Structure 1
């Protein structure tokens, strides 16, 4: 595959790492309500341990090399520098698969599944099922350049369509995503359906239209809407802050690595089954490597702007078509949903309202960061869905 981009290896300047260590050594921690744990936010005991490990035990160069073992590139598309990883797949005709992360994730989320998807024969599968895996950093995230102002997921979807054409010369491909990746992928399928073979999502993305002309809400759907509101009532405060006043928040996050770490790891801890206590699902090395991608690029402010865009412009729901019928994404869609995500698994009928659902898996375990937490299960479901289409 010919790639119209410049090879790019991550190499963080040592002065940035030295400055980070000095800041960690000067961390001033807040107090905490008695018995607070994770109830009020990031647990003080855990954050102290994380900061100390970051200062004295964590080795960025090791994980920098881990990311660099995948071929990295920098492409210039429509005024943006887009950093991405690309692993050509095994087999005679690997399907191009564009994989998009969200917040507070990064391309590092996919380091356990890139090889599984590109080279299934190494894990007991069939090489002919391999994908050419393409993982770009969203605009304003990681080493991708930031927009001048908040950029809506619809515009990122348009950018991704141009990215695949201009960088790879691909007119038809498939896409996968979770978190914001599921929203961007959904709008990509909605605005550029002729470009997509299929999409696979591991989060409940766009809300369907429920107004005049839509089927009435069923009892199961009504019950799920109630469960959704209850689960997110205490978990979505960050959305309001990043959606309305991101600038104020990010003075602290740009200046304090401990503050950035606490803001991000609390989202990795929030898992309904695990509850308060130590963060056991992800190692400190994994958590800190993801955080480092924000820190070394001073990228958290621009990363949070995607929340601002949808808060001011909408775009998390579908409307109606010109003929008055509910809008719907017609590209074949597969879902693999996990029970301890921020959004509970809905009735399948809810998904059919907005998507052309060809595949639906309700996993028995797992949370929001599926590619990190359940890479085997997520990869297996992606293979199962696309094998049926091939």
Structure 2
């Protein structure tokens, strides 16, 4: 496969790392509500240990080498520099699989599923099932260049379609995503159904049209909507802040690595089964490596603008077609949903309103960052879905 992009290896200067260590050493911690723990945000006791570990024990150079295991490129697409990994798959004719991350993640989320997807024979599978795995960093994330203003998921979907054609010469492909990746992948399938053969999603993405002409809500759907609103009432405050006043927030996050860590780590450490503060889901090394994508590039402000774009423009829901019927994503869609995500797993009928659902797995365990928390289960479901279509 020919790739029209420059080879790129992640390389952070010593000066950036020295500055980071100095800032961590000078962290001024806030007080906290007595007995508050994680209820009001990142727990103070944990964050002190986290900052100490980041400053004194974390080895970026080790992780930098690990990240550079994957063939990295910088692609020029429609005025953007897009950093991506592309791991050619085993087998005689590996299908291309585009995987998209979200916030507050990065392509680091996929570091445990790239090899199994591309080379299943190394894990007891068949080499002929391997995918060529393409993982781009969203515009304004990591080493990808930032847009001049908030960029909508629909625009990113169009950018991805152009990238697959111009950078890789690929006309048709599979796609997968969670978090914003599920929204972008959904719009990619909706706007480019001739290009996307099928999509696999591990988050409930676009909301269905519920206005005039739509079937009435079932009792199960009404109960799910009420439960969803209750469950997310405390957990989604960041959405409103990043959607309305990201600039004010990011003076602090650009200047303080501890501030950036508290804002992001709390999202990774929340799991609805046990509630906030479950500190066994991800190691500090994993959390810090993901943070480094934001810190060393001073990228969090531009990364947060995707929230601003949908707050200002909408686009989290489908509309009506010209004939008045509710719109849908007609590309074959597979869902693999985890019970302790931000939102509850919906009734089947809710997903069928918006998608051509041909595969639906309800996992018994796992939360929002599935590729990091449940890589084996997610990988197995991706194979099951796409192999079924083949």
Does TM-score exceed 0.5, indicating one fold? Answer: yes
Deviations, residues 337-384 of structure 1 (Å, cap 9, x unaligned): 000000110011110000000100000000000000000000000000
Provide the rounded CA distance (Å) in 2 between the counterparts of 1:292 and 1:277. 22
Number of equivalenced pairs:
390
**Matched-pair contact (CA < 8 Å) for 2:270–2:277:** no
Deviates more, 1:274-283 or 1:157-166: 274-283
- TM-score w.r.t. the length of structure 2 is 0.99
Which residue number corresponds to residue 26 of structure 2?
Answer: 26
Residue aligning to 1:338: 338
CA distance in 2, matches of 1:274, 1:101: 25
**Residue of structure 1 in register with 2:119 after alignment:** 119
Which segment is superposed worse, 115-124 or 277-286?
A: 277-286
Distance (Å, rounded) in 2 between the aligned partners of 1:200 and 1:297: 30
SS in 2 for 1:346: coil
Query: What is aligned with 2:198?
Result: 198
Displacement, 1:277? 3.4
**Structure 1 residue 113 displacement after superposition:** 0.1
8 Å CA contact 2:271–2:278 kept in 1: the answer is no
Which residue of the partner structure matches residue 354 of structure 2? 354
CA shift, 1:276, in A, is: 3.7
Paired residue secondary structure (2:250) = helix
Equivalent pair of 2:80/2:139 in contact (CA under 8 Å): yes
Q: Aligned ranges for residues 219-234 of structure 1 at < 5 Å? A: 219-234=219-234
- Using the TM superposition, give the Cα deviation of residue 335 of structure 1 relative to its aligned residue in structure 2, in angstroms: 0.2
Over the residues paired in the alignment, what is the CA RMSD in angstroms? 0.6
Counterparts of 1:1-390 in structure 2 under 5 Å?
1-390=1-390
The question of whether the paired residues in 2 share the 8 Å contact of 1:152 and 1:306 is answered with: yes
Contact 1:99 1:136 in 2 (8 A): yes
Measure the CA separation in 1 of the matches of 2:113 and 2:276.
Answer: 28
Stretches of structure 2 lacking an aligned partner (at least 5 in a row)? none
- How many Å separate the matches in 2 of 1:19 and 1:226? 47
Does the CA contact (< 8 Å) of 1:46 and 1:278 recur in 2?
Answer: no
> Could you list the runs of 5+ residues in structure 1 that have no partner in the other structure?
none
Give the 4+ runs in structure 1 shifted more than 3 A: none
Paired residue secondary structure (1:97)? strand
Give 3-state SS (helix, strand or coil) of 1:194's partner. Answer: coil
Cα distance, 1:225 vs structure 2 = 0.4
- Give, in whole Å, the separation in 2 of the partners of 1:98 and 1:134: 5
- What do the CA deviations read for 1:140-173 (whole angstroms, capped 9, x no partner)? 0000000000000000000000000000000000
Q: Can you list the C-alpha shifts for 1:171-191, whole angstroms capped at 9, x where unaligned?
A: 000100000000000000011
Quote the offset at 1:278 in angstroms.
Answer: 4.6
